[in-house]
Structure 1
């Protein structure tokens, strides 16, 4: 069943991310994850966090790698948004490169892994400000559900902070609360959606 919402764009391409998407993706990711980016990189401002994350983006085997992302783009190739998702059971290992960085900086390497085994964990969903309200976030969530099914996972999960307007989208796409988590100084609701 195809669902359309007012203002929805119908000709968006969802494609796997590539290393050269870093200049688009990294600032959008950092703007979305904020203090979590600081916790991962050991810095305290967006510019320094972005600089560090640019180094991780083209590398495989870390949570913010291009290999875990899909990019939404217009027919002309303009990037509009992204979704970053990976199997929850890999969360701990995907954070190891960030732990190593923190240790190298002389900082505690404590990073709370976010994913839950058995789910495809949506680490980040972000749409450019100009493209919001056009159904792109919904399309990216659909891509995550398809990815979960391809991997044989039965749930898609994510964390949402209280007051985040994206919670309405998640509810509309079938996500339901499954508990709360403390993370990087904030409290988040764990939402899940069954696949199938």
Structure 2
């Protein structure tokens, strides 16, 4: 019996326990820098605690969940790059309240839908689900009238091969949270009427 096709839907409050650890496992030290924590477990707890609060980069309103037969298998977090600074304000306020430096570097660039996070659970990798999420993100960008999708990737990230196959091309490098990242972009087509 063939498996049901994957579908992508907006995240809900009930997705917090699934999404927060998966997001943190993907963003690593950037999550530590945003949350003011020093471990993946602590950062995931903070992300989960802030999940339903609107107006920040990791809020459920920015997340799409990929599922098959009702089982969540992956997610994407994206937002217009022009909004990056404002979406980090709640994280800067958290860092200030903790007495930590609040110099978060914005990742998104104006003119793109910035793909902050793309993640598939380990047991479901290699099944084309990441490509499915990338296609959904391109459609999302086109629907917002944005001409491209952008993202940052470290050189040793195996997902770099997926991004290249999906048409992403390097346009520069960035230094964030102690790491060097390549900024990749992919043009998108206008939505069909």
5+ residue gaps, structure 1: 1-8
SS across alignment from 1:63? coil
Cα-to-partner distance string for 1:72-93 (whole Å, 9 max, x where unaligned): 1012x11000000000000000
Superposed displacement of residue 134, structure 1: 0.3
Structure 2 unaligned residues grouped into runs of 5+: none
TM-score by length of 2: 0.95
- TM-score in terms of structure 1 length: 0.94
Mapped to 2, the partners of 1:114 and 1:19 lie a distance apart of 25
Question: Where does residue 4 of structure 1 map in the other structure?
Answer: none
What is the match of residue 52 of structure 2? 58
Q: Which residue of 1 aligns with 2:16?
A: 22
Q: What do residues 47-99 of structure 1 show as CA deviations (whole Å, max 9, x unaligned)?
A: 21111111211111000001111111012x11000000000000000000000
Partner of 1:164: 157
Q: Could you tell me how far apart the structure 1 residues matched to 2:159 and 2:101 are? A: 32
Q: Count how many residue pairs are aligned between Structure 1 and Structure 2.
A: 187
Q: Secondary structure at the match of 1:177?
A: strand
CA distance in 2, matches of 1:15, 1:41: 26
Q: Any conservation in 1 of the 2:4–2:68 contact (CA below 8 Å)?
A: no
CA distance in 2, matches of 1:135, 1:10: 14
2-structure distance, mates of 1:45, 1:56 = 17
User: 1:3 is matched with which residue?
Assistant: none
Structure 1 residue 10 displacement after superposition? 6.6
Task: Output the aligned Cα RMSD.
Answer: 0.9
Deviation readout 1:139-195 (Å, 9 max, x if unpaired): 001111011001000010000001111011001100000000000000000000001
Runs of 4+ deviating beyond 2 Å: none
1:80 aligns with 2:76: no
